[in-house]
Amino acid sequence: MQNRKILQGLLILFLLSPFFILIGHFELVTKWDTGEFFWALRNSIWQGVWSALLSTLAGLWLAMGLIFCENRFSRWFNFNIFFLLPNFLPNLFVLIGLMSLIDPFPMGTIGVIIVHAFINVGLCGVILKEVIKNKLSRLSDVSFTLGVGHMQFYRGILFPLLKKDLFQVFFLVFVSAFSSFAIPLVVGGGKGINLEILIFEKIKIYNDWGSSVALAGIQSILLFGFSLLNFKNQTVVELNPNLQSRFLESRFSFYFFSFLYVIFFYSYFNGVAEGLNSWSDFELYSEEIANGILGTAVISIGVGITVFGFLMAITRLHQTNWFHRFLNGYTAPSTALIGFAFLVFGPNTTFFVFLKIILGLTLSYIVYLYKMGYGNFLLDLARYKERASLLGADNNLVFWKILFPLTYKRMFLYSGIAAFWATGDYGISKMIASRDISMALLSETFLSHYRIGFSSLLSFILLVLGLIIFLCFRGAQVVVGRKINY
Amino acid sequence: MQHFIIFIFSIFFVLVISFFNRQTVVDDSQKIIRVYGYSSFTSKLGPGYELKKKFEQICNCRVDFVEAADSGVLLQRIKLEGATLGADLVIGLDQYDLQKALSEINWRKLDFSQLEIDEIIRPALSNSYFVPFDWGVIAFVGRKEDPLPTPKSLKDLLKPIYKNKIALMDPRTSSPGMQFLSWVYDALGKEDGEKYLEQMMNQAHSFSPSWSTAYGFFSKRQVSYVLSYLTSPLYHQLVENNNSIEAFRFSEKHPVQFEFAGIPLDCKECALAEEFINLMLSDEGQKIIMNKNFMFPVVKTALQGTAFESVAQFNHLSQFKIPSVSDVDFLIKSWTSIRRGEKNAK
């Protein structure tokens, strides 16, 4: 018991480490401006709430489109990836794609909300599709058989049963929009200045690390406070593998979103095709590209494995107490602060640079993944742990024989997602690395040398690489699954 | 099961160790010169790679480039690593970074006053610690086939026909963005400059965090004009064989951006660092910098017989000055408050 508490403490210490490092490194004398803080806070909340609301509602509709698609076409292609892609593209390509879609594009707060919503709607749709399949598939079939009307089903069954999951998804987008940096900076205008930009201004304009760390801390505490509004859903999960209900699928949603995404990707793939014209650059920069691919693979697989290790540790140490509350509510500081904290801490030789990037990315992803559903999933498993303990199983046995077989699929899925995200990381890598060690950094360097086409091509290679690494994690999951079943 | 997971972890760590072994095969007998700069300079796309190769052939040493995200991180890095690992040379600071760099780090004195350079850029040599190695003229760039009339002044940009057609950069994160801000104040004065910027907030398409993002909008035809360099059209002409891009001459004198190199006082290979600067300022080095950075060389002879020569005749330039920390502070604070929609800069 004592060991568990110590390990839980160590894990939390790691998650809070950027704050401690920066507090230790800089003299934290702050010049506090309450008016400015509340103004930025208001903008953050405004952007967060509207982005999250739009993403969640559109995501719910997309989820129905995805269910339709799964019922009809899943044998040929997994469309989830298609809708998740905007999440992995560099901001510039997302903006250019959206500006082709919406012309003239509304700059300002509305623009920020649209970009956030577009980036997150796929993720919301995929998460909600899984939730709907798990919670409503049997009920929808029964309702259909009993002659329940559409609106009655939505009002009486769907929303009451899904409201906590919707809130969870809302909170997930809210957190990312609340602490977004690059998008409000480009399209936000004056009213786009949120807490994250204020933190950046404190560092850049006033060299005031004290205020920036204090603001980041307050931002984390506020998001923690918001998370306390959230609570777990106890709905029994009964999956119907042959879900066919008309209530839960929407043909129009699928075609509508597909149309939007096709137009969006048209401009992106146009850029990729332009990049093919500079094919000769491949030969010229083959060594850099090969090193970039290797570096990206090391970072990405490293992050995937470290996240897997952390998820195993969290699964083993998990308790429905302050530990869960902390993981569910805590939000990692911005990539700039994490990157800078890790840069000033310890040596910066090649090995440590990679190690710091991997740990920095793990730190920023792990709590996000926990909120993405892993935490609630662990809560559902508490009853098995309890029963096993009552029957006299020790912690080791409970973990390896009960928890691991039940959680390994999700652990591999989330590690794969983290690995996929890590392939496209630019923020933390740029801060810590002393050269272009990954494809994302290389892509940015090409962009700063007028080569936008080639940069698009590199970002496409990055997507493919991310997908391959993601599939490797899925492959490892299959092998582990066979071992467990054997 | 545990064994299988340990097996997967082990494979990864073997891969990682072999990756790092492959990267760190070095000759220990060689001296190492550590050069700090930005990726646009140090990468193979920039001039750094060729300069490094040339220098390593003659110095019996190894050049290690260390990149940083921006000048703030660069200076922090030098402070962190300078004393232990050594920072021998810093490349790529512009005139807005110099005073900050001087206030945070001690630098060696340099004397390159005998360099043969154009008189118009001689003021850039007036400081004792940093030497300029290239320069560029800030200008708006557009397409010849664009149906809109060519803008001829800063004030023209505020005309309704250009609304949402101009991509600018945020001066807090971008060096050309800072040049634009200074250009507005120099040309219009404080009061009119502020009014101009207030109007520009609703006029510009976007204020990107970097030049590359803004230029991306232009390349992808999201905007008609972008703040860039007088030499930008040359890239399209020489590399893409595309003559449709042009830079506009405005009635207000155009700002000039210099990039500087300096040697920190606690350098470990100070003599080598100075030799590296000499290479950068040689005719050969200057040509490499010009052709890779698409900026003008500071040494006159490097321009002769090149496509840059005719463009460099442009003499409608603002007087060069190195702004003080308080000047830079004023510009950024003023921008921040105007961007936030406050009327007067504090």
pLDDT at B34 over 50: yes
Tell whether B291 lies on the interface with A, counting CB pairs under 8 A: no
SS3 B116: coil
Average pLDDT over residues A94-112: 79
DSSP letter (8 states) at residue B55: H
The Cα A203–Cα A344 span in angstroms is 15
- Residue B199: CB atoms within 10 A of its CB come to 13
Answer whether A98's CB lies under 8 Å from A118's CB: yes
Give the distance from residue A435's alpha carbon to the nearest chain B alpha carbon, in angstroms.
Answer: 5
Are A431 and B73 inside 8 Å of each other by CB?
Answer: yes
The vertex-A379 CA angle with A60 and A166, nearest 5°, equals 15
Tokens found for residue A39: 């103004």
Tell whether B330 lies on the interface with A, counting CB pairs under 8 A: no
The more confident residue out of B14 and A363 is A363
Q: Is the peptide bond before B255 cis (omega within 30 degrees of 0)?
A: no
List, in sequence order, every residue forming a beta bridge with B315; answer none if it has no partner.
none
The more confident residue out of B261 and A202 is B261
Domains of chain B: 26-135+257-311 (3.40.190.10), 137-256+325-339 (3.40.190.10)
CB-count exposure of residue A353 (10 Å: 0-12, 13-18, 19+): buried
Mean pLDDT of chain B: 86
A131: number of CA atoms within 13 Å, CB side? 29
Q: What is the CA radius of gyration of chain B?
A: 22
The band of A242, judged by pLDDT with boundaries at 50, 70 and 90, is low
DSSP A4-30: HHHHHHHHHHHHHHHHHHHHHHS----
The more confident residue out of B26 and A121 is A121
Average pLDDT over residues A331-357: 84
Residues B86-103, buried b or exposed e (16+ Cβ, 10 A)? Answer: bbbbbbbbbbbbbbbbbe
Q: Does domain A32-268 have CATH number 1.25.40.10?
A: no
What pLDDT is attached to residue B342? 53
- Residue A311: CB atoms within 10 A of its CB come to 23
Listed residue (A469, A299, A346, A480) closest to A406, CA to CA: A480
Mean pLDDT of chain A: 83
**Model confidence pLDDT, tens digit, residues B194-215:** 999 999 988 998 888 888 888 9
Ordered by start, the domain boundaries in chain A are 1-30+278-486, 32-268
The Cα B309–Cα A96 span in angstroms is 35
Tell whether B42 lies on the interface with A, counting CB pairs under 8 A: yes
The vertex-A96 CA angle with A425 and A202, nearest 5°, equals 55
pLDDT at A237 over 60: no
The more confident residue out of A180 and B189 is B189
Fold: same for A1-30+278-486 and A32-268: yes
DSSP letter (8 states) at residue B117: B
What pLDDT is attached to residue A15? 92
Are B39 and A448 inside 8 Å of each other by CB?
Answer: yes
CATH number of A1-30+278-486: 1.10.3720.10
**Cα nearest neighbour of A345 on chain B:** B80
The band of B47, judged by pLDDT with boundaries at 50, 70 and 90, is very high
Tell whether A436 lies on the interface with B, counting CB pairs under 8 A: yes
Listed residue (A334, A287, A266, A295) closest to A22, CA to CA: A334
**Model confidence pLDDT, tens digit, residues A266-325:** 877 887 887 787 777 777 788 888 888 999 999 999 999 999 999 999 999 888 778 888
**Model confidence pLDDT, tens digit, residues B308-320:** 988 878 878 888 8
What pLDDT is attached to residue B24? 54
pLDDT at B8 over 80: no
**Model confidence pLDDT, tens digit, residues B186-196:** 999 999 999 99
| CA-to-CA separations, A322 to A318, A325, A394, in angstroms, rounded | 10, 5, 23
What pLDDT is attached to residue B27? 62
The Cα A187–Cα A40 span in angstroms is 16
**Cα nearest neighbour of A100 on chain B:** B222
Listed residue (A306, A298, A338, A305) closest to A423, CA to CA: A298
Residues 306-345 of A with CB under 8 A from B: 309, 340, 343-344
What pLDDT is attached to residue B77? 80
Complex-level ipTM: 0.76
SS3 A62: helix
Whether the full predicted model's pTM is greater than 0.90, yes or no, is: no
Tokens found for residue B122: 């001689």
What pLDDT is attached to residue A421? 86
**Cα nearest neighbour of B23 on chain A:** A350
What pLDDT is attached to residue B345? 39
Least confident segment among A429-433, A477-481, B45-49: A429-433
Least confident segment among A134-138, B83-87, B340-344: B340-344
